Chains A and B, each alone.
Chain A
Amino acid sequence: MGALSVNTALLRQILVGFVHDEVTKVGLHKGVLGLSGGIDSALVAYIAAEALGPENVYAYCMPYHTSNPESEAHAKLVAESLGINYKVLEITPMVDAYFSLYPEASNMRRGNKMARERMTILYDHSAEVGGLVLGTSNKTELLLGYGTLHGDMASALNPIGDIYKSQVWELSEAMGVPREVIDKKPSADLWAGQTDEQELGFTYRDADELLYRMVDQRMSRAELVSAGFEPHFIDNVLRKVQGSHFKRRLPIIAKVSNRTIDRDFRYARDWGK
C-alpha cells in the first residue's frame, strides 16, 4: 500500500502550470469555481489562486436550505485565507420553484437538479467576469461516476481530474488548505448527515488503492484478489466504473458522413492555441 503517495511539489507545479497555461492561451486570465466547503473545491481554489493570482479567482458558494451551515463557513474560510473574490448565492428559490411542480421527486432528482442549478450559475458568472469554469471532480469520483453529468462534472478545465482522493488530501496538506476542511468527512451535502463513504459503501482510501491498481497499473482480477482485495469489492467498484462510463464521454453521434465530429474529425481542443 502507499503507492498513491505523490511528490506534492512536482504535482503542484504541474497543476498550477496547467491552469495558468490553459486559461491564458485562450486569451483570458480569470477562473470561476463553485466553493462547496469541501476539500476538492478548496484545493482547486488554492491551485487557481497560485496560477492566476487571487484577484483573478471568482468563487461562489451556492447553498440550498438543507445544506449544512458548516459548509458555507468552510467555503468562506477558504476564500478569506486566499483573498479570492467570494460570493454566496442561495439556490433554494430556483430549485424549490421547479420542485413545486414535482413535490414527489426523489433525493437523487433533487440532488442532480441542485448540481445543475449550480452549473448554470457558474457558467453565467463565467460570462459575466470573463473567466473559465474550473472543474473540481477528482479521479476517484470521476471513475466511480459519483457526480452529476452536466452538473458538478461540467467545467472548461479540471486540474484535479487525474488525481485520486487520497492524493487530493496529500496535496491539500502541502498547499495549506485549512485543517478543518482537510479533516472533515467528505459529503455531497444533499441532506443532513450525508457522507460520501456511507453512500458509496466503502472508504475513499480503499477505493483509491483498488482503482490505482485496476486502472493505472492494469492489474488483472486474479492479481487484485491475490493482492488482498475482496472479490465482491472488486466487482462492485468495477461495476460502478463501467456503469458510469457514459458520464465521461461526449454524447455519441449517429454517423452518416465521412467526417463525424470526434470520430474522424479529430482536433485537439487547443487547436491553434
Chain B
Amino acid sequence: MDFTVALAQIKPKLGCLDDNMALVEAAIEKGIAAGADLVVFPELALTGYFLKDLVPEVALRLDAPQIGKLKTLSLRISIAIGFVEVSSDFRFFNSALYLEDGEIRHVHRKVYLPTYGLFDEQRYLARGDRFRAFDTRFGRVGMLICEDMWHISAPYILAMDGAMTLICLSSSPGRGVSGSEGLGSSAAWQKLTSTAAMFLNCRVFYCNRVGYEDGINFWGGSEAISPSGEVTDRGALLEEDLVVAKVDGGALRRERIFSPMMRDENLAITVKELKRIDRENEC
C-alpha cells in the first residue's frame, strides 16, 4: 500500500516535558494537515538528549498522562516517538513507542547505549534486551534507536523477524567538520541507513533532531530511504523541518523481486555459526 510518512525534525528543550509535548502536538497537527499516515519523531523527543542527572526527573511510566495523550492522537495518525521510560522496578530506559489506533503497539528499549567519546548513556540508563518486529497498518515494522543502527545485527534481526520498514529514531550530534561536503557524522549515517535498506530490502525512515545542547549541535538531515537504498526525501541540515515523504508501496515488492536477498537469507546457517562462535568463545 502507498502511504505518507512525516519525519518531524524538531528541536526539543532539554528537560522540558511540557514544552516538548507542545512541540510534538504541533508537529502531529502539521503532519495530519500534510496528509501523513505516520509521523516519526527523534530519539528522546519528549526530553532532549544530554539529560545526565535529569533522567529520573523526566522519565514517564507507560500509563503517564502524556502517553495517554499520544494514544488519543494516534487515533488520527500513527506515531513513533522517543522518551525516557521508567519501569515499575525503577530502571530508566531510552525508549521508543509506536502508537496506532489509540494503543501502544510496541515499546523498544534502546539496546546499545553509547558510552564513549561525548556519549555517556550507560551511566544513566538501563539497557534494553530485545529486538522485535511488530505489525502495523503499514505492514511489519522494526524500531531502532540511534546507536542500535550501528550494530549490524540489530536491523538484521528485525528484518529476519519480518520487518519491511525500519524506523530509526536518532539524536545524532554533528561532528567532524572537514574539507568534505557534509559533516563526518552525517556522511557516516547516510551510508549506514542506505546500506541497511539495500542489504535487508527494507525501507528505512530515519528521523534526527536539530538544535544545540551545551554547544553540541544535532544535524537533522532526516531521510526516507527506499528498499533499494535510494534516498527519496531528505530534511534540512541543522534546521527544523517536517519531511513529508510519499511512500511507494510497490517499490518494496519490486525490490524484493529484483534482489531477493532476504528470501535467500539462511537463518539456519547464521544461527548455527553464531552458536559455534559462542561455544568457542566460552572455551
Contact = CB atoms under 8 A, between A and B. Distances in A.
Contacts of B147: none
Interface stretch (B11-19, B35-43, B266-274): B11-19
B183 A18 contact: no
A14 B238 contact: yes
Interface in B12-71: 13-16, 50-54
Among B16, B181, B217, find the residue whose CB has the most chain A CB atoms closer than 10 A: B217
Contacts of A17: 212, 217, 238
A73 interface: no
Interface in B141-200: 174, 177-183
A54 B51 CA distance: 34
B211 A267 contact: no
Contacts of A25: 13, 212
A157 B182 contact: no
B280 interface: no
Given A10-B182, A18-B212, A21-B212, A272 B238 contact: no
A266 B53 contact: yes
B174 to A, nearest CB: 7
B211 A21 contact: yes
A265 B54 CA distance: 10
B278 interface: no
- Give the secondary structure class of A's interface: loop
Nearest to B212: A21
B215 interface: yes
B230 interface: no
Contact of A11 (B15, B177, B213, B237): B177
B89 interface: no
Given A265-B53, A268-B52, A7 B15 contact: no
Nearest to A9: B181
A22 B52 contact: no
Contacts of A6: 177-179
- Give the secondary structure class of B's interface: loop
B214 interface: yes
Given A267-B54, A268-B50, A273 B215 contact: no
B122 to A, nearest CB: 14
Contacts of A104: none
A271 B183 CA distance: 26
A272 B13 contact: yes
A269 B15 CA distance: 11
A106 interface: no
Interface string A253-273: 000000000000111111111
Interface string A1-17: 01101110011011001
B218 to A, nearest CB: 11
A18 B179 CA distance: 20
Contacts of A272: 13-16
Contacts of B214: 268-270
A7 B174 contact: no
Given A265-B53, A273-B14, A13 B178 contact: no
A10 B217 contact: no
Contacts of B54: 267-268, 271
A269 B214 CA distance: 6
Among A6, A10, A25, find the residue whose CB has the most chain B CB atoms closer than 10 A: A10
B213 A7 contact: no
Interface in A86-125: none
Interface string B206-227: 0000011111010000000000
A7 B180 contact: yes
Nearest to B52: A266
Among A6, A11, A21, A22, find the residue whose CB has the most chain B CB atoms closer than 10 A: A21
B106 to A, nearest CB: 30
A272 B51 CA distance: 10
A14 B217 contact: yes
A90 B179 CA distance: 41
A6 B180 CA distance: 7
Contact of A5 (B50, B51, B179): B179
Contact of A270 (B177, B182, B213): B213
A270 B178 contact: no
Contacts of B183: 10
A18 B217 contact: yes
Interface in A169-227: none
A13 B238 contact: yes
B52 A7 contact: no
Interface of B: 13-16, 50-54, 174, 177-183, 211-215, 217, 237-238
27 contacts: A5-B179, A7-B177, A7-B178, A10-B183, A10-B237, A17-B217, A17-B238, A18-B212, A18-B215, A22-B215, A25-B13, A266-B52, A266-B53, A267-B52, A267-B54, A268-B14, A268-B50, A268-B52, A268-B213, A269-B214, A270-B50, A270-B213, A271-B14, A271-B15, A271-B54, A272-B16, A273-B14
Given A10-B177, A268-B51, 16 more contacts: A5-B179, A6-B178, A10-B182, A10-B183, A11-B177, A13-B238, A14-B177, A14-B217, A17-B212, A17-B238, A18-B215, A22-B215, A157-B215, A265-B53, A268-B14, A268-B54
